Structure formats: C-alpha cells, structure tokens
Amino acid sequence: MDFDYDLFVIGGGSGGVRAARTAAATGASVALAEESRLGGTCVIRGCVPKKLMVYASGYGEMAEEARAYGWEFGEGRFDWRPFREKLHAELDRLEGVYGRLLDGSGVEVYDRRAKIVDPHTVELADGGRKTAAHILVATGGRPVRPDMKNAHLGMVSDDVFDLDELPKSILIVGGGYIACEFACILHGLGVEVTQFYRGAQILRGFDDEARGLIADSMRARGIDLHLGTNIVEMCPEAEAGDSVRHHGTDSDAAGANGVAEAAPGTKGPVWVKATNGDEKVYDAVLFATGRKPNTDGLGLEEAGVTLARGGAIEVDEYSQTDCPSIYAIGDVTDRVNLTPVAIREGMQFVETVFKGNPTPVDHALIPSAVFTQPELGTIGLTEEAAREIEPVEVYCSSFKPMQSAFAESPERVLMKLVVSVETRKILGCHIVAPEAGEMIQLAGIAVKMGATKEDFDRTVAVHPTMAEEIVTMREPVRRS
C-alpha cells in the first residue's frame, strides 16, 4: 500500500520534534501536526519559562546576601511586566528555532489538530486526511483542576506565565515538584505564598531526608506551608459575606476593603476554607494537583490502542501500542514524565523503526532535579526504597556551606549516598543545595556507570566546594 508519509507525528513538543527530525534524517518522509505551539509543554509553558522565573526569583535573596559581603545596594523591586515581555519574546524565539529545525529537516508541518481515523490514517482539523506507514503520538499532558465546586476560580501552572500582574497573595494547592517550585518562585518574586498539601510531607516519592530539609527551608524563607491540609470549599470573595472579610491578606497588601485587589489575569480574590478550619481570602489560587495525558478525542481506542486508567497510552518497551503501526512517547504514556526522557524515547523509536535496530527504552537511573530553593538533585533509589530491597549503608552530611555561613544565613545543604552492602554500588545519590541540578547531572554519569562507594572515595575532592562532601564521607551514618 502506498502512503502519503512514512511517519506522521501528532504533537510538536520536544519528543515529537526530535523523533520527526531524526526519522527524516534517515530519508523517511515525515509530517508533524501541532494544534498549539511548537516546543510543547517544556519550551512554551513548562521547563524553560519556569527556569527563567527561578533565576528571576533568586536575585532578591542574592542581593541580601551580598550585603553581608560588603556590597551596598539601593532598595530593589521586581517589575513583572518587563520580565514577562522578555520571557515571552524568548519563548517566541525558541518556537521559531523549532520551526526552522523541522523545515531544515524536510518535515512537513501542519499547524492544526490531528486525530487518528484508523491504524494508518489521520484526519486534520480542516477535514483533510493523510496516510502513513507509522503514526507516532507525542501529545504530552496537561494540568488538571481537582473535582470540586468552584475549582475554575483557581489557576493551573500554564496560567502563571500569562499573568498581567503578580498577585500580592496566593494559595498553592499541591505538594509535588510543580507546586513546590512555584511556591519558591513566587515567594522570591515578592508574593505572599501559602501552600496546602494533604499529605504528611511534600515531594512524595523523593528521599525523606531530602524532602524534609526542603520543607524546613521553604518555611524558613517565609512560605506558609501547611501539611495534612486541603481546601474544604472556595468561592469568590464577593460571595463569601462580611463575616469572613477579616480573614483577608495582610494589611500592607490590602485594598480599602481589607482585601488586596485582584491582579489582572487572575481569578481572585477567592475565599477559601481549609480542612484545618482556617478561612482566608487570597488574590489567587493555583492548583498544582496533577496532570493528565492528552488523549481525549484522538481516536486511539477506535484504532485499537489500549488506554490505561487516567488516559495514558499503554506501550511496550519499544514504545509500541497494541496497534502495531501506532507508537507513543513522552508524557502521554505516563512512564517517566521528563522532557529529556521524551527526547530519548523519540530517538529510540527511530532507532527501532527506521534504522532496523530494535532498541528498548531505558528508564533506569534517570537523574532529575527539583528547582526549589535550595534545589534537589537526585538519581537512583531513595533510602526508603533501597532498604526494602537489600541491606544498605547510608552516607549523609548536612551542613552550612561556606557562602551561607559567612553571611550568617541559616541555609543548610545535604549530600547523601545510599550504598549496597553487598555490591558497594551507589544505589542512590541525593543532593539538596544551590545548583544541585548541575551537580546531579555529573554525579549521574558515575552512578549510571555503576560506580561504587570506593570509586567515590578514590576521587580527590575539589576544595573548597559544597560538592566535595560527596567524596569525603568515610563512615556511614546508619545501616539497614
């Protein structure tokens, strides 16, 4: 059968674009459809704009610390509007880069929605149909609001980058990395931040010691973090009645009625009642309570593709679905929801399908970072997970780094290694420190190669650095 293309990619995020380009490089005819903007979640409404906001949020504290080193500054003030303008210009530039890369690769791009009609046919939003020998779904995921009355009053993470003005106060609901990152970012930009998480500790799934230190650090910075807490009810402030108006934001951030005026682009002010009995009015509410794969209305099940609970596409180790001609990569499969993983999955898909070299996806020992303040860098097993598998030794050090100690800052860092008693291999490495993401990228190479504790011990320390502690810890703090 003759097809219009060898490959049709649905989704123009990092994974889909990489797969399309690398497939086209083999001589395959490739098309890609994207209904929104090239670059997807990471470039347009995720990793990239968030990290730029992380940078912006750190300068206030940096200036304060600089005074301890003898520098004198005038009164600083963050101005959101010029930053947002430059942020959006940078995202436009990156989207253009993605478009040029696809054009240069010979990939035909359709800037509209596509859905699957049958195992070899897609239908575009304008009614046109295209056939392909293979279809790759790379539509990513999206943030979702909780199922509760008036949830529409709250923002989701996508909305933060488009705010006309920053709110003076915000309630962030959730305890995952997105919630914690935005709590630190917005606090650093001068917003009064309250965070609710229904669990016993933030950052579930990460190492207990590491996430405990981050929680302590967030509170020390001034973030009002409430654990074991959730929203009971919420409504527009105007509907809450006079009896709750005294629960509004602090007077220095409040308008004439005792409640800060809503920032343009937010949905506040919002009255919230919490499970702990507290009632308060916030300029804005941000839900960071989960994400959902973008599979609605794609025609996947009609084509014979199995969806898991929650809508994720079920695939095998080669990213192939139950329908042999249809593959899926990235967050839409809900395997490991990280941009570099989606890119790697796209490359391994091309290796398997277009280069005749079946290559399973390797999801073992993936380094990652949480861009809180301080950051968390991690690879491998947590202490809790490792000791459920085998006997381990834990090497751990928490201390004030030189830079913070000199400035009389309470900031502490953590360096932690989880080591197999039997093989001596590093099973997990966890770092809580400024620039921990940079450190874990390099440490991740050694851990991925199977380095042992003795390999770390043989490595000469770089002094004076925070990271030297990772190779100077000689005695375990505990065995289990």
**Binding site for FAD: residue ranges?**
51, 331
Told to judge if 463 belongs to the known catalytic residues of this protein, a careful annotator would answer yes
Please name the helix (run of DSSP H) or strand (run of DSSP E) that holds residue 461, with its range, or none. none
**CA 151 from centroid of its chain's CA atoms:** 22
Q: What is the DSSP letter of 290?
A: -
Within 266-400, residue ranges assigned H as helices are: 339-353, 383-387
DSSP 104-166: HHT-EEE-S-EEEEETTEEEETTS-EEEEEEEEE---EEE---SSTTGGGSB-HHHHTT-SS-
51-76 in b/e form (b: 16+ CB < 10 A) is bbbbebbbebeeeebeeeeeeeeeee
Q: Are 298 and 115 in contact (CB under 8 A)?
A: yes
Q: Is the dihedral of CA 363, 287, 163, 218 positive or negative?
A: negative
Q: Which of 33, 32, 34, 51 is nearest to 42 (CA)?
A: 51
Binding residues for NAD(+): 174-181, 290
Task: Give the residue carrying structure tokens 């953590």.
Answer: 414
Give the chain's length. Answer: 480
Dihedral angle of Cα 152, 35, 327, 290, to the nearest 10 degrees: -20
Return the residue matching tokens 């199977």.
450
Taking the C-alpha atoms of residue 159 and residue 169, their distance in angstroms, rounded to an integer, is: 16
Containing 455, the helix (H) or strand (E) segment is helix 453-458
Q: Which two tokens stand for residue 329?
A: 């990569």
Q: Are 373 and 57 in contact (CB under 8 A)?
A: yes
Query: What SS3 class is residue 433?
Result: strand
As a whole number of angstroms, the distance between CA 175 and CA 275 comes to 16
Catalytic positions:
463
